[in-house]
Amino acid sequence: MDTTASERVHCLIIGSGPAGYTAAIYASRANLKPVLYQGIQPGGQLTITTEVENYPGYPDGVQGPDMMVHFEKQASRMGADIRFGLATKVDFSQQPYKVWIDDEKLIEADAVIIATGASAKWLGLESEQKLNGFGVSACAVCDGFFFRGKEVAIVGAGDTAAEEALYLSKLCTTVHMFVRRGEMRASKVMQERVQATPNIKIYWNTETEEIIGEKKTEAVRIKNNQTGETQTIPVSGFFVAIGHEPNSAIFKEWLDMDEAGYIKTRPGTSKTNIEGVFAAGDVQDKIYRQAVTAAGSGCMAALDAERYLGEKGLH
C-alpha cells in the first residue's frame, strides 16, 4: 500500500448521507475545515428513495436525491471540502488518525467522524447475484421504471418493503410480495396501504428458493414454509427489501460494535471507544434509521468533534 501521498486534515468526515453532510455543515461553521469523502454511494441511501414526506421543512415532500443535492450544496457553501473517494483502511492506534482513501491516498486527521451508513442485505442465493442487474435489484425506486406494465416480485416485510411494493404497484401489473412469516414488521399504516392495493398479492410464510432465468429474470420459485408446497411464478423483476447492514467493516479492529456490526456510541453522544473518533447516522443507529435522526446525530458529531479539538488545543 502506497502511503507516500499523505495529507494532514483537521476534521475528516467519512460518508455523505444526511449525517455526513450535516456534520460537514456544522464543522465548517465551527471553522474545523472539514474534508468529507463521499464513499461508494454519494448521498447515501436517500439517493435510492423517491418521495420523502417526513423530513421537516418540505411541506410538499421532496425527492430523496434532490434533498441530498440540497445538503451537499449547503455543506459546500459553508466551506466543506467535499471529495469523491472511498475509505478502505484505517489505523486508529495513535494521533493523528490514519485513513486510506481508495487504497492509495493517506489522510491523517486530528478528529474523524464516521457517517458511512448502511447497505441493503441480500438473500444469499447464487441466482440472485447472477441476475443482479438483469431483473434482480435491491432498489425498486431506482429500477422499477424498467418493469412498467410487467409482473414483478418483492421479498420483505418491513416499512421499506411495503413502501417499495406500493411504488411498484403504480408501475407494474401485479406485485407478488413474499413475507417469510405470518405477519409483517411494517408499521400499521403501511400494512393497511399494502393490503388495500388490489394489484399487490401477499404470500405469507413464504421463502424464495430460486430466481429463474439465464440472461434475465424470467420467474421465481417460492416455497410455503408451513406446507412445504412450492410454486413458480413468472416475473420480469425481483426486488430484495429485507433490511440493511452497517458499513462498518473497516473499523472492526478498532471500534466497539454490537453483534450486527453497528458502531457503539456513548449514550447521548456520538463518541466511540476511541477519543476523537465519532460515529453518526445509520452506521450507529439500528433503531430509528430516519433521515432526520441521522442529520441530528451528524450535528452532534460535529459539536462533539469541535469540543474535543478545543480541549486538546487542536482548535
Our answer to whether residue 172 is catalytic in this structure is no
Catalytic residue of the set 11, 110, 143, 172: 143
Position 1 in a domain: no
Based on the fold, state whether residues 133 and 236 are members of the same structural domain: yes
Q: Give me the CATH number covering residue 189.
A: 3.50.50.60
Based on the fold, state whether residues 83 and 142 are members of the same structural domain: no
- At which of 195, 223, 240 does a domain end? 240
Based on the fold, state whether residues 164 and 251 are members of the same structural domain: no
Our answer to whether residue 139 is catalytic in this structure is yes
The per-residue pLDDT for range 39-88, each reduced to its tens digit, is 988 888 888 666 787 899 999 989 889 999 999 999 999 999 999 999 99
- DSSP class of residue 271? B
What pairs with residue 221 in β-bridges?
210, 232
Catalytic residue of the set 66, 81, 139, 159: 139
Based on the fold, state whether residues 114 and 250 are members of the same structural domain: yes
Catalytic residue of the set 66, 81, 142, 159: 142
- At which of 204, 221, 240 does a domain end? 240
The per-residue pLDDT for range 146-161, each reduced to its tens digit, is 899 999 999 999 988 9
The per-residue pLDDT for range 238-266, each reduced to its tens digit, is 999 998 899 999 999 999 999 989 999 99
Per-residue pLDDT, averaged over 207-218, amounts to 96
Position 163 in a domain: yes
Range of the domain at 299: 6-119+245-311
- The sign of the CA dihedral 138, 141, 143, 144 is positive
Position 264 in a domain: yes
Based on the fold, state whether residues 208 and 265 are members of the same structural domain: no
* Consecutive H or E run containing 278: strand 277-279
Based on the fold, state whether residues 44 and 100 are members of the same structural domain: yes
Instruction: Give yes or no for a contact between 295 and 20, defined as CB atoms under 8 angstroms apart.
Output: no
Our answer to whether residue 11 is catalytic in this structure is no
Position 95 in a domain: yes
Return all residues near 223 (Cβ < 8 A) that are at least 6 apart.
206, 207, 209, 229, 230
* Single-letter code of the amino acid located at 312: K
Position 108 in a domain: yes
- At which of 223, 240, 257 does a domain end? 240
Per-residue pLDDT, averaged over 115-127, amounts to 92
Please count the residues of the chain.
315
Position 223 in a domain: yes
Scanning the chain, the segments in alpha helix (DSSP H) are 18-29, 64-78, 126-130, 140-143, 159-169, 188-195, 291-311
Helix (H, G, I), strand (E, B) or coil at 200: strand
Q: 441476475: which residue's cell?
A: 131
Position 275 in a domain: yes
Number of domains in the chain: 2
